[in-house]
Structure formats: C-alpha cells, structure tokens
Chains A and B, each alone.
Chain A
Amino acid sequence: AQSVTQLGSHVSVSEGALVLLRCNYSSSVPPYLFWYVQYPNQGLQLLLKYTSAATLVKGINGFEAEFKKSETSFHLTKPSAHMSDAAEYFCAVSMYSSASKIIFGSGTRLSIRP
C-alpha cells in the first residue's frame, strides 16, 4: 500500500529564509511523486513531479525537490521565501503512472513572516 507523511501541519518562515517542507512516502513499487500547492481560494496546482528521471526536480516559482530512495523522502525546498509563497502544500504519490489515482499527504500550511 502507498502512503505519504508530511511532517508538520503548519510551517512558518521569515521572508527571505529557506523553505523546507518534509515529505516521506511508502510504496511497494517505484513511485511517481508530486508536490501540489493550493493558494487561498484557488484549486490545486502542480508544483513539480518526479517520474524516475533526474532525482532533483525543479518546479515552478523557484521550488525544487529531491528524491532520496534510501530515505524514502521527497522534501520540498526553496532558497528564499516570498510573501506570495503562503499557501497549503501537498505531497502526493501515485503508482504505475501519473495517470493513476493520487494519494495525498495531509498538507502543510506555509506562512511567511514579514
């Protein structure tokens, strides 16, 4: 069975500081991994996805994530937080293909302090 664990339901960082959102997964087969973001009053938007190519995946808005099989992790980072990054972030996994059903983590709400 597949599952996703996001550590920390709420993360707060200062503007300009490093953003690190943690995600660990479990999967019995090589997974497809995703990070989605939901800005206030909007739908889910794909930030980036890992599909067994490069282990370091670059996404939109300066975010990136690194797939570490040995640690079963897919943490999301951004070197310098911006006020506009305030949103809820979801780590997710799917099996077989990215057209399969997606299993989401519980989400991490990111707040940015001025």
Chain B
Amino acid sequence: EAGVTQFPSHSVIEKGQTVTLRCDPISGHDNLYWYRRVMGKEIKFLLHFVKESKQDESGMPNNRFLAERTGGTYSTLKVQPAELEDSGVYFCASSQPSGRGDSTDTQYFGPGTRLTVL
C-alpha cells in the first residue's frame, strides 16, 4: 500500500511568488492534516480535513495560506504571496479513524516538502 506522498519534495521561490504544495493521502483515508516546521522550531499543526470539509483550521497562520481538498482525495496548500518566514518543511498526514483509538487512528506522515523563500 502506498504511503502519503507529497509534491514537490523541494521548492525554491522568491518572496512575493506563489507556490502550491500537493499531498496525496493513503487511499481511503478520510482525515488529512497539514503541519509545518519552520527552521529550528517545533512541528506545528496547520489544519485538518475530514473528507472535503475543514474540521479544524486553527493553525493556519494568515490569509496568505489557502488549503483545499476537492472531492475529498488529494489536498493542495497554496501560499500567495510567499514571505521569507514561510520557509520550512511542510508535512502532510492522513488517518482513518476507527473510533476505537487503535492503530487505525494513527496519523501517517509524508516525507514533507521543503520550501525555501528567498
């Protein structure tokens, strides 16, 4: 079974440009999450989709960030316009909750997209 995949693996853009990150969750997983790690800091939650709906977007830093999950499959995270402080590694994760709190609730992470804003 394929894991969570993210594209691109690296992106280098200039301040003011737009970048779109993509995440493909594990097939059949309804829950999809975005996290970010800015250099030297903790990994921080950005938002959580359940299917195509935003369940929790409390971690989105500002309105320059737009996340979508059309059709409840893959998700995109767009940063427009990018700023220097947006540099970091963006992780996506997916899970399929069973309601039993067992291993099927595990959030499986992708390899991340390293974003560098110059």
A contacts, CB < 8 Å to B: 32, 36, 41-46, 49, 51-52, 90, 97-107
Q: How far is the CA of A16 from the CA of B109 in the complex (A)?
A: 29
Q: Which of B42, B91, B105, B111 contacts A105 (CB 8 A)?
A: B42
Decide if B14 is an interface residue (CB 8 Å cutoff).
no
Can you list 27 A-B pairs, Cβ within 8 angstroms, ordered by A? A32-B101, A41-B111, A43-B3, A43-B4, A43-B110, A43-B112, A44-B43, A46-B107, A46-B108, A97-B101, A97-B105, A98-B95, A98-B97, A98-B105, A98-B107, A99-B31, A99-B97, A99-B107, A101-B33, A102-B35, A102-B107, A104-B35, A105-B42, A106-B41, A106-B42, A107-B42, A107-B43
User: Cβ of B43 and Cβ of A97 under 8 Å apart?
Assistant: no
Decide if B56 is an interface residue (CB 8 Å cutoff).
yes
Residue of A nearest to B108 (CB): A46
A2 CB to nearest B CB, Å: 11
| Chain A positions within 8 Å of B91 at CB level | 43-44
| Chain A positions within 8 Å of B48 at CB level | 100-101
Q: Which of A43, A49, A106 contacts B111 (CB 8 A)?
A: A43
Interface string of B96-118 (1 = CB under 8 A from A): 01000110011111111000000
A54 CB to nearest B CB, Å: 13
What is the predominant secondary structure among interface residues of chain A facing chain B?
Answer: loop
Q: How far is the CA of A102 from the CA of B97 in the complex (A)?
A: 14
| Chain B positions within 8 Å of A100 at CB level | 48, 56
Q: A98-B95, A99-B105 are in contact. List 5 more A-B contacts (CB 8 A).
A: A43-B3, A98-B101, A101-B58, A101-B59, A102-B45
Decide if B44 is an interface residue (CB 8 Å cutoff).
yes
User: Cβ of A43 and Cβ of B45 under 8 Å apart?
Assistant: no
Known: A43-B109, A43-B111, A49-B106. Contact between A104 and B101, CB under 8 A?
no
User: Cβ of B106 and Cβ of A44 under 8 Å apart?
Assistant: no
Residue of B nearest to A90 (CB): B43
Known: A43-B4, A44-B91. Contact between A103 and B45, CB under 8 A?
yes
User: Cβ of A36 and Cβ of B101 under 8 Å apart?
Assistant: no
